[in-house]
């Protein structure tokens, strides 16, 4: 508990700095776009309706989806710019987060801007015209100052929304306080989840209070309050961003990627450790969506990560056949290098395949050792699957190959899937073969004699940019064929279990010790 | 006759089916002081705003110093015309001094000259110098009206349009300020058009009285001529009140 808290605290400067950077930039950009729009909309009824309707529409898109949608959009734009101007830009991380959060921050500023400007006393507006102000002077000298308290209230709302929504920038590769929450959810590290929530809430409240001070200064026309609020914001910004200043780019920084589950966090820590031993600095981009990780590698936004041969086979090469473990690896190595310039350094040893598993006692009682044996009993059994397995091609392939027809099929979040197997609510479950809980819960993995499930060798990938980087390849090569599935299961279990949880970094260190790396 | 400073030619302004001002023609000469009388809703404010371009006419022509009012940008015209609003319309987020300094600021005066002008005007409208840093919301209604007059005068316009400028003042201040303003009008050679509901004020300050009703002119004559009698019964009734009041006051003074 305490070491988990310490681990969370150690990550705070980086996460907080990135969180503040992306939310403050989005808020400033949102303000710069919304204010002129609000002025236009308050002047012209024809503009008001579409502007407010569009901003409201944006607000109805779930913020996570909005962030996710910017990624393919920017990817396409980047490809177009590469085709036209010879260079693209990073479609992952800061840019999609900035744009999505900017859109998200606009509605409260627009609404309050239009409301505040429309509510300015008509007598003051007429007096402004009467003394001979131009439209511009009337806006800046009279209307905006009088509407400022209302506009500022909108900015406050926008700030709170943006800081909250910025936690969702993690899956598109932007480090934020959401890293605690996403990693914590996956590894059931509730200390992390709570830490992330509290940190983002405290940040939102602090920003809200300081903006509130400015707002009250504007409405009471107390100049010192405005200055105090601005000074507080400036000091807070500087303090939060300071840790980022030293961490700029540089050719000697490597970025290690990870998808969003425990094994990936542990492997990323392992890769990072190996690279750091060469004296290079390492950044982590964790919680990437399954397909986003490969796209990010291809685009050079991450330099290395571990993926699984079957996933690349189906998702990147679009293949549905199964020519066997070695053939898949060989084809991938050749095809990824040719197509994308991605280097497959090699398989690191264990497989993390989809597998069907059942409690050892039940399997023994029914004499089930393989999927072929299972088919005979399936009509009496309940199948518990994770949330995506039933819609994946692997399931179709297994069902066809063995003629499986269960009495019932139920979907669970992975943790609860294992609980269901333990309590007897599910007789058979879809498991990952490297999952530590297979051994811990005394499950047996059923054999697949017809090779219906494709191989899922864990393979080390390096970005095109770093494909011939001797330092990186040298640091990572010792991992090839090094990690047996038992070692990976034990490491995964140490992170996933309920008690004595280890952090992914600690699990990686233990794994290194065990393998003598 | 010299060219009029302000001239309305057959000017009309309607709101929906109702005419606020109907075919109004009037010419004001340089240096003249005209009072505009009339019942509520008779079109007095509308006439004033038509002159400085706050309202555009539906028909007719407005000429200022011999040129059409709509010729240049409206703000340039309005900087040359002092305007006292009926509802005062001070800027609530500015201090009294900043309100008065608006005209000079728009005209690009430097800080020293502006400061001196503000002090001079505060004295003229009989406000203490320490009123300068206060907000309009901290003043009484009458004090606010005086700030409105000071603001209109600040940049030294040649034309003054005043919409009930002294309405909220006590009788003593009102009389004093009225006389002070009249003196200023003489000294600077202003052309003044002042709306008032007070017939006494019109009689004592103006050299010419225009009476409006339903957007049109009922009477247009010097005070003495109007007091002597007018064919229109409504004008006659309007003048009857001060005449009777004057007689009663004189009678009281003779028989103590
Ligand atoms: N913006 C407007 N929209 C519609 N009608 C208006 C508008 N402004 C003025 N009117 C109408 O035009 C007519 C003349 O109004 P105006 O303000 O000129 O009267 P006024 O003589 O100044 O009255 P008061 O002595 O009460 O100030 C009134 O009937 C009024 O209702
Ligand atoms: Mg009026």
Over the stretch A223-247, which tens digit does the pLDDT of each residue have?
Answer: 899 999 999 999 999 998 888 776 5
Instruction: Give mean pLDDT, residues A101-130.
Output: 92
Burial letters for A264-292: b for 16+ Cβ neighbours within 10 Å, e otherwise?
Answer: bbbbbbbbbbbbeeeebebbbbbbbbeeb
Q: Which residue of A has its CA nearest to B77?
A: A132
- Asked whether the beta carbons of residue B93 and residue A137 sit closer than 8 angstroms, the reply is no
pTM: 0.74
Q: In the numeric block, which tokens belong to residue B187?
A: 């000294």
Give SS3 for B7.
strand
| Nearest CB to A130 within list B76, B85, B93 | B85
- Note whether A94 and A174 are within 8 A (CB): yes
**Cα of B46 vs its chain's centroid, Å:** 13
Q: Are residues A366 and A315 in the same domain?
A: no
Q: Domain with A122 in it: what CATH number?
A: 1.10.3720.10
A131 vs B contacts (CB less than 8 Å) = 78-79, 83, 102-103, 106, 151
Q: Are residues A234 and A157 in the same domain?
A: yes
- Supply the residue whose CA is at minimum distance from atom 5 of ligand 1: B15
Q: Are residues A9 and A107 in the same domain?
A: yes
> pLDDT for A21-33, tens place per residue?
999 999 999 999 9
Handedness of CA B163, B165, B169, B171 (dihedral sign): negative
Whether the predicted pLDDT of A206 surpasses 90 = yes
> pLDDT for A54-67, tens place per residue?
888 888 888 888 88
Report the pLDDT value the prediction gives residue B256, as an integer from 0 to 100.
Answer: 63
Distance CA A66, CA A333 (A): 34
Q: Are residues A37 and A172 in the same domain?
A: yes
Query: Which of B46, B54, B87, B193 most suits a substitution to test ligand 1, by most atoms within 8 Å of the C-beta?
Result: B46
- Note whether A45 and A117 are within 8 A (CB): no
A130 vs B contacts (CB less than 8 Å) = 52, 54, 78, 83, 85, 89
B89 vs A contacts (CB less than 8 Å) = 123-124, 126-127, 130
Instruction: Give mean pLDDT, residues B74-80.
Output: 92
Q: Are residues A208 and A292 in the same domain?
A: no
Give SS3 for B128.
coil
Give SS3 for A353.
coil
Structural domain includes residue A194 = yes
- Note whether A177 and A167 are within 8 A (CB): yes
Substitution target from B53, B56, B92, B153 for chain A, most A beta carbons within 10 A: B92
Distance CA B122, CA A178 (A): 60
Q: What is the pLDDT confidence band of residue A250, given thresholds at 50, 70 and 90? A: low
Contacts of A223 (CB under 8 A, 6+ apart): A217
Domain total in chain A: 3
Query: Which of B11, B12, B14, B15 most suits a substitution to test ligand 1, by most atoms within 8 Å of the C-beta?
Result: B15
Rounded (10°) angle between helices A504-515 and A485-496:
150
Question: A445, A471, A505 — which closes off a domain?
Answer: A445
> pLDDT for B110-147, tens place per residue?
999 999 999 999 998 888 888 889 999 999 888 899 99
Structural domain includes residue A259 = yes
Q: How many CB atoms lie within 10 A of CB A456?
A: 25
Whether the predicted pLDDT of A348 surpasses 90 = yes
Instruction: Give mean pLDDT, residues B78-88.
Output: 92
Structural domain includes residue A248 = no
Q: Which residue of B has its CA nearest to A222?
A: B93
Distance CA B2, CA B12 (A): 25
Contacts of A437 (CB under 8 A, 6+ apart): A418, A431, A443, A492, A493, A496
B136 C-alpha vs ligand 1 centroid, how far in Å? 26
Closest by alpha carbon to A405, among A377, A443, A435? Answer: A377
> pLDDT for A144-184, tens place per residue?
999 999 999 999 999 999 999 999 888 887 889 998 888 88
| Nearest CB to A127 within list B73, B77, B91 | B91
Distance CA A71, CA A76 (A): 9
- Note whether B28 and B51 are within 8 A (CB): no
Q: Are residues A376 and A478 in the same domain?
A: no
Closest ligand 1 atom, CA of B215? 14
A126 C-alpha vs ligand 1 centroid, how far in Å? 15
Question: A192, A215, A243 — which closes off a domain?
Answer: A243
A123 vs B contacts (CB less than 8 Å) = 85, 87-89
Structural domain includes residue A215 = yes
Report the pLDDT value the prediction gives residue A44, as an integer from 0 to 100.
Answer: 86
Structural domain includes residue A298 = yes
- Asked whether the beta carbons of residue B54 and residue A130 sit closer than 8 angstroms, the reply is yes
Ligand nearest to the CA of B46: 1
- Supply the residue whose CA is at minimum distance from atom 10 of ligand 1: B20
- Asked whether the beta carbons of residue B78 and residue A132 sit closer than 8 angstroms, the reply is yes
Whether the predicted pLDDT of A251 surpasses 60 = no
Contact status of B34 with chain A (Cβ, < 8 Å): no
- Asked whether the beta carbons of residue A123 and residue B85 sit closer than 8 angstroms, the reply is yes
- Mean pLDDT for chain B? 90
Distance CA B115, CA A28 (A): 38
Q: Domain with A415 in it: what CATH number?
A: 3.40.190.120
A335: domain range?
253-352+456-514
Contact status of B158 with chain A (Cβ, < 8 Å): no
Report the pLDDT value the prediction gives residue A1, as an integer from 0 to 100.
Answer: 61
Q: Are residues A50 and A149 in the same domain?
A: yes
- Mean pLDDT for chain A? 88
Structural domain includes residue A451 = no
- Asked whether the beta carbons of residue A128 and residue B91 sit closer than 8 angstroms, the reply is yes
- What stretch of H or E contains B87? none
Give SS3 for B77.
helix
Q: Are residues A342 and A389 in the same domain?
A: no
Rounded to whole angstroms, the maximal C-alpha distance in chain B is 62
Q: Domain with A498 in it: what CATH number?
A: 3.40.190.10
Q: Are residues A93 and A183 in the same domain?
A: yes
Q: Give B83 to chain A, closest Cα distance, Å.
A: 7
Q: Are residues A380 and A290 in the same domain?
A: no
Substitution target from B51, B93, B100 for chain A, most A beta carbons within 10 A: B93
Pocket residues: Cβ below 6 A from ligand 1? B 15, 20, 38, 40-46, 86
Report the pLDDT value the prediction gives residue A247, as an integer from 0 to 100.
Answer: 53
**Cα of A226 vs its chain's centroid, Å:** 37
| Nearest CB to B89 within list A124, A132, A141 | A124
Closest ligand 1 atom, CA of B86? 27
Contact status of B9 with chain A (Cβ, < 8 Å): no
- Asked whether the beta carbons of residue A132 and residue B87 sit closer than 8 angstroms, the reply is no
Q: Are residues A408 and A321 in the same domain?
A: no
Whether the predicted pLDDT of A303 surpasses 70 = yes
A137 vs B contacts (CB less than 8 Å) = 106
Question: A445, A475, A497 — which closes off a domain?
Answer: A445
Distance CA A384, CA A387 (A): 10
Residues of A with CB under 8 A from a CB of B: 121, 123-124, 126-134, 137, 141-142, 145-146, 221
Structural domain includes residue A492 = yes
- Asked whether the beta carbons of residue B54 and residue A131 sit closer than 8 angstroms, the reply is no
User: Is the pLDDT higher at A321 or at A346?
Assistant: A346
B93 vs A contacts (CB less than 8 Å) = 142, 145-146, 221
- Asked whether the beta carbons of residue B103 and residue A221 sit closer than 8 angstroms, the reply is no
Q: What is the pLDDT confidence band of residue B176, given thresholds at 50, 70 and 90? A: confident
Structural domain includes residue A153 = yes
Q: What is the pLDDT confidence band of residue A252, given thresholds at 50, 70 and 90? A: low
Q: Are residues A431 and A467 in the same domain?
A: no
């Amino acid at each position: 508990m305490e070491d988990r808290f310490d681990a969370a605290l150690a990550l705070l400067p980086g996460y907080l700095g990135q969180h503040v950077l992306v939310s403050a930039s989005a808020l400033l950009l949102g303000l710069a776009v919304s204010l002129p729009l609000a002025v236009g909309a308050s002047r012209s009824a024809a503009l008001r309706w579409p502007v407010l309707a569009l901003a409201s529409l944006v607000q109805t898109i779930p913020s996570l989806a909005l962030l996710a949608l910017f990624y393919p959009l920017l990817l396409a734009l980047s490809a177009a710019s590469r085709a036209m101007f010879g260079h693209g830009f990073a479609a992952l991380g800061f840019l999609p987060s900035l744009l999505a959060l900017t859109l998200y921050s606009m509605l409260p500023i627009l609404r309050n801007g239009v409301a505040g400007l429309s509510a300015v006393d008509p007598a003051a507006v007429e007096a402004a015209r009467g003394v001979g102000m131009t439209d511009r002077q009337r806006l800046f000298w009279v209307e905006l100052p009088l509407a400022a308290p209302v506009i500022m209230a909108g900015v406050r709302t926008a700030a709170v929304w943006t800081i909250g929504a910025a936690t969702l920038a993690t899956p598109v590769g932007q480090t934020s306080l959401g890293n605690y929450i996403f990693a914590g959810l996956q590894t059931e590290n509730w200390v992390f989840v709570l830490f992330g929530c509290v940190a983002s809430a405290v940040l939102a409240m602090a920003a809200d209070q300081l903006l509130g001070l400015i707002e009250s200064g504007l409405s009471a026309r107390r100049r010192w309050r405005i200055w105090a609020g601005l000074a507080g914001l400036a000091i807070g910004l500087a303090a939060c961003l300071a840790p980022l200043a030293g961490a700029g780019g540089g050719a000697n920084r490597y970025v290690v990627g990870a998808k969003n589950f425990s094994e990936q966090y542990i492997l990323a820590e392992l890769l990072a450790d190996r690279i750091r031993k060469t004296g290079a600095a390492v950044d982590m981009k964790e919680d990437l969506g399954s397909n986003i990780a490969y796209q990010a590698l291809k685009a050079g936004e991450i330099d290395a990560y571990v993926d699984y041969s079957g996933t690349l086979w189906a998702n990147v090469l679009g293949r549905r056949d199964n020519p066997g473990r070695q053939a898949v690896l060989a084809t991938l190595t050749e095809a990824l290098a040719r197509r994308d310039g991605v280097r497959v350094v090699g398989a690191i040893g264990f497989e993390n395949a989809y597998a069907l598993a059942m409690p050892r006692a039940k399997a023994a009682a029914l004499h089930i050792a393989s999927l072929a044996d299972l088919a005979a009993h399936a009509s009496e059994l309940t199948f518990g699957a994770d949330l995506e397995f039933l819609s994946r091609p692997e399931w179709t392939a297994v069902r066809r190959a063995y003629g499986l027809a269960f009495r019932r099929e139920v979907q669970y979040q992975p943790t609860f899937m294992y609980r269901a197997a333990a309590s007897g609510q599910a007789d058979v479950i879809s498991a990952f073969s490297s999952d530590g809980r297979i051994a811990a819960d005394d499950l047996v993995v059923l054999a697949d004699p017809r090779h219906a499930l494709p191989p899922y060798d864990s393979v080390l990938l390096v970005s095109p940019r770093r494909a011939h980087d001797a330092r990186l390849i040298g640091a990572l090569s010792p991992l090839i064929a090094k990690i047996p599935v038992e070692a990976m299961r034990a490491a995964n279990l140490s992170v996933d279990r309920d008690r004595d949880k280890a952090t992914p970094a600690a699990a990686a260190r233990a794994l290194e010790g065990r393998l003598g790396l | 006759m010299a060219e009029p400073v302000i001239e309305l030619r057959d000017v009309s302004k309607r709101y929906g089916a109702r005419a606020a001002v109907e075919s109004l023609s009037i010419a004001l000469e340089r240096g003249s002081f005209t009072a505009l009388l009339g019942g509520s809703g008779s079109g007095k404010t509308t006439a004033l705003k038509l002159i400085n371009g706050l309202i555009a006419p539906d028909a007719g022509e407005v000429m200022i110093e011999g040129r059409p009012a709509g010729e240049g940008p409206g703000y340039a015209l309005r900087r040359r015309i002092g305007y006292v609003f009926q509802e005062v319309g001070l800027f609530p987020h500015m201090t009294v001094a900043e309100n008065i300094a608006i005209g000079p600021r728009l005209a690009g005066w430097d800080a020293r000259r502006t400061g001196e002008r503000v002090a001079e005007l505060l004295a003229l409208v009989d406000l203490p110098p320490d009123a300068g840093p206060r907000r309009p919301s901290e003043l009484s209604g009458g004090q606010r009206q005086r700030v409105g007059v000071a603001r209109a005068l600040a940049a030294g316009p040649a034309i003054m349009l005043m919409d009930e400028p002294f309405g909220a003042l006590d009788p003593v201040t009102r009389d004093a300020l009225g006389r002070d303003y009249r003196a200023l009008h003489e000294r600077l050679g202003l052309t003044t058009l002042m709306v008032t509901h007070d017939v006494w004020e019109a009689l004592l300050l103006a050299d010419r009285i225009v009476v409006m009703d339903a957007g049109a002119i009922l009477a247009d004559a010097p005070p003495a001529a109007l007091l002597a009698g007018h064919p229109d019964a409504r004008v006659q009734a309007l003048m009857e009140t001060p005449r009777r009041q004057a007689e009663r006051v004189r009678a009281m003074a003779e028989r103590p």
